[in-house]
A and B are shown apart, each in its own frame.
Chain A
Amino acid sequence: MSDFHNQSQASARRSDYVWQYEYYDDEEPVSFEGLKAHRYSIVIGFWVGLAVFVIFMFFVLTLLTKTGAPHQENPEHAEKHHRPGSCLADNGSPQDENERAFSRPLLPESRSFFHFYISEEEQGQGKCKAEDQGGGAIQGQRARNRLGGVSSSGMEEMEEEGEESEERQPLQGLVDEGKSDRESAFLSHFNIPNFVNLEHSSTLGEDDLLLCEPSAMLGSQSRSQDAHRNIN
């Protein structure tokens, strides 16, 4: 592209803006007399502006996150909700939500749901948390497998991740999710926050295919997965 540059620099000096392929230096030098500001001021200004923009964006996004959940600033609070070692998110209190999860016929599409719970894998929040996330997703998925709500052909359509092939095996029970490869297989599908919209009413209306009450459709489904994840 340096040819491009030469040519464009040369021909940009002409008023007719015709670009020809010529490789000579500028004939009409730009005068540098009487510059008020530093000559690289556009460059500096541009990069400073860009840096400010990126940092500003980061802070805005972080602020958005922080003003979200009230618990998130308390890591032990979240920590003690996770069973150490077992990556089975428990089916503790949100039992009714689990029930709802289980009573629902599993649609093939909802399989892609599980990808939402996949945060970026380099989360330093603790392996167990990550395992719980993956485990919760796997558990819910396997539970659905067990229900037979999904035909295997339905599963086969969903070749989104290779790790999914592992879940096609029949459920024996809630297998341990301690395996790091399965955990890492779940993490990382999504690079952006792994939360599903709850209240987006138009979406809920369209996707009202399940047995639960419409307002909690997507929310409850995701909530059930999150309940798996977040052992309260």
Chain B
Amino acid sequence: AITAKSDCPEVEVPVPLFFTIGVVGLAENFLVVVAVICNRNLHSPMYCFICSLAAFNTIASLAKTWENLMLVFAGVGQLDQRGSSETKLDDVMDSLLCMSFVGSIFSFMAIAVDRYITIFHALRYHNIMTMRRTAAILGVIWTTCGVLAMLMVRFFDTIFIMTCFIIFFLISLVLIGCLYVYMFMLARIHARRIAALPTSGSGALTLTILFGAFVVCWAPFFLHLIIIMVCPLNPYCECYRSLFQLHVVLLMSHALIDPAIYAFRSAELRHTFRKMLLCSDWR
């Protein structure tokens, strides 16, 4: 057989870049988690969801960095790539990654719903979104993701899982998009009535950033999954697949920019960070 010298060679991303993105993402998100847990002022539903998102991103960065480490060791020859324990570990890490992706999507949805309730059911917000319910929602999210992770470890080789994954992604994309656009449009009506809109383009920009980052970072990877299923032999599809590592880098960088979009927007959280990092009188 002719050795496959494809016209679309796989684009390799240098390992240091992977490591940098992984470690920075890990540090950022872990800081967010610690900040939310330590600061009592941040024990509110919205921050709990942001903390959960950051926790999932931490897991994703951790798993990806660890996998990179293992690949580096395997490349150097320290690890046997086909050893059963290595493949099992690889399985575990891939499922951790999938679990954290699913979890972060769930967290996005929870944040969007929380914002929706904050705006449109403001007067009853504290009755609707009690801390107990928040804890219950987070429990459900984490349990689902844990179960999903275990299922994936077991049944990673079925195409059913991937199809579910993709459908889940598309549905949640549409849901989140609709929620935010709906909120935005109703906010526009309000703006019209008060006849003064000091921040005219900023809402649009924020929404675009929020949603755009989500789509730009996640869609390439999911298109990759779709293409694997749909047209594995097509040369065009193969050229798309050759960019796989770039798409994974995009996915990881989403874990990096998530805190900037969600968490660091809050002055209280930034204040907590400053306190933590500068080790000034904490508490």
The interface of chain A, by Cβ under 8 A from chain B, is: 1-5, 8-9, 12-13, 17-21, 23, 25-32, 35, 37, 39-43, 46, 50, 53-54, 57-58, 61-62, 64-66, 68-73, 78, 81, 107-110, 112-113, 115-116, 119-123, 125-126, 129, 133, 157-165, 181, 184-200, 203, 206-207, 209-210, 218-219, 222-223, 226, 229-230, 232
Segment of B23-31, B139-147, B164-172, B213-221 in the binding face:
B213-221
* Residues of B contacting A8 in the complex (Cβ-Cβ under 8 angstroms): 228
List 11 additional contacts besides A13-B232, A29-B4, A123-B199; criterion CB under 8 Å. Answer: A1-B248, A3-B81, A35-B236, A40-B240, A43-B243, A50-B215, A54-B208, A108-B126, A112-B118, A160-B47, A193-B206
| Pairwise interchain contact A54-B191, C-beta atoms closer than 8 A | no
| Pairwise interchain contact A192-B207, C-beta atoms closer than 8 A | yes
Chain A residue nearest to B219 (CB atoms) is A50
Q: List 25 A-B contacts (CB under 8 A).
A: A1-B97, A19-B157, A25-B3, A40-B8, A41-B236, A42-B227, A54-B212, A57-B211, A61-B181, A61-B203, A62-B205, A66-B200, A112-B125, A112-B126, A116-B118, A120-B265, A125-B198, A159-B43, A164-B41, A188-B267, A189-B266, A193-B206, A195-B191, A219-B190, A223-B194
* Residues of B contacting A219 in the complex (Cβ-Cβ under 8 angstroms): 190, 193
Closest beta carbon of chain B to A180's beta carbon, Å: 10
| Pairwise interchain contact A196-B122, C-beta atoms closer than 8 A | yes
Closest beta carbon of chain B to A44's beta carbon, Å: 10
Q: How many residues of B contact A (CB 8 A)?
A: 100
Counting chain B CB atoms within 10 Å of each CB, the highest count among A19, A30, A194 belongs to A30
Chain A residue nearest to B210 (CB atoms) is A191
| Pairwise interchain contact B202-A64, C-beta atoms closer than 8 A | no
* Cross-chain pair count, CB within 8 angstroms: 312
Asked if B92 lies at the interface with its beta carbon under 8 angstroms from chain A, I say: no
Contact bitstring B83-113, A, C-beta under 8 A = 1, else 0:
0000100100010010000000000000000
Closest beta carbon of chain B to A14's beta carbon, Å: 9
Partner of B198, one of A35, A119, A209: A119
Asked if B119 lies at the interface with its beta carbon under 8 angstroms from chain A, I say: yes
| Pairwise interchain contact B126-A109, C-beta atoms closer than 8 A | yes
Known: A12-B228, A62-B201. A20 touches B157 (CB 8 A): yes
Partner of A17, one of B159, B187, B233: B159
Chain B residue nearest to A113 (CB atoms) is B122
| In the bound complex, CA of A121 to CA of B144 (Å) | 35
Known: A57-B208, A200-B120. A68 touches B156 (CB 8 A): no
Asked if B279 lies at the interface with its beta carbon under 8 angstroms from chain A, I say: no
Contact bitstring B218-236, A, C-beta under 8 A = 1, else 0:
0110010001110011111
* Residues of A contacting B188 in the complex (Cβ-Cβ under 8 angstroms): 64-65, 68, 193, 195
Partner of B119, one of A20, A159, A197: A197
| In the bound complex, CA of A122 to CA of B267 (Å) | 12
| In the bound complex, CA of A210 to CA of B124 (Å) | 12
Counting chain B CB atoms within 10 Å of each CB, the highest count among A1, A184, A196, A226 belongs to A1
Chain A residue nearest to B192 (CB atoms) is A68
Closest beta carbon of chain A to B157's beta carbon, Å: 4
Asked if B185 lies at the interface with its beta carbon under 8 angstroms from chain A, I say: yes
| Pairwise interchain contact A109-B261, C-beta atoms closer than 8 A | no
Asked if B280 lies at the interface with its beta carbon under 8 angstroms from chain A, I say: no
| Pairwise interchain contact A23-B81, C-beta atoms closer than 8 A | yes
Partner of A43, one of B189, B211, B239: B239
| Pairwise interchain contact A78-B8, C-beta atoms closer than 8 A | no
| Pairwise interchain contact B196-A161, C-beta atoms closer than 8 A | no
| Pairwise interchain contact B1-A28, C-beta atoms closer than 8 A | yes
Chain B residue nearest to A20 (CB atoms) is B157
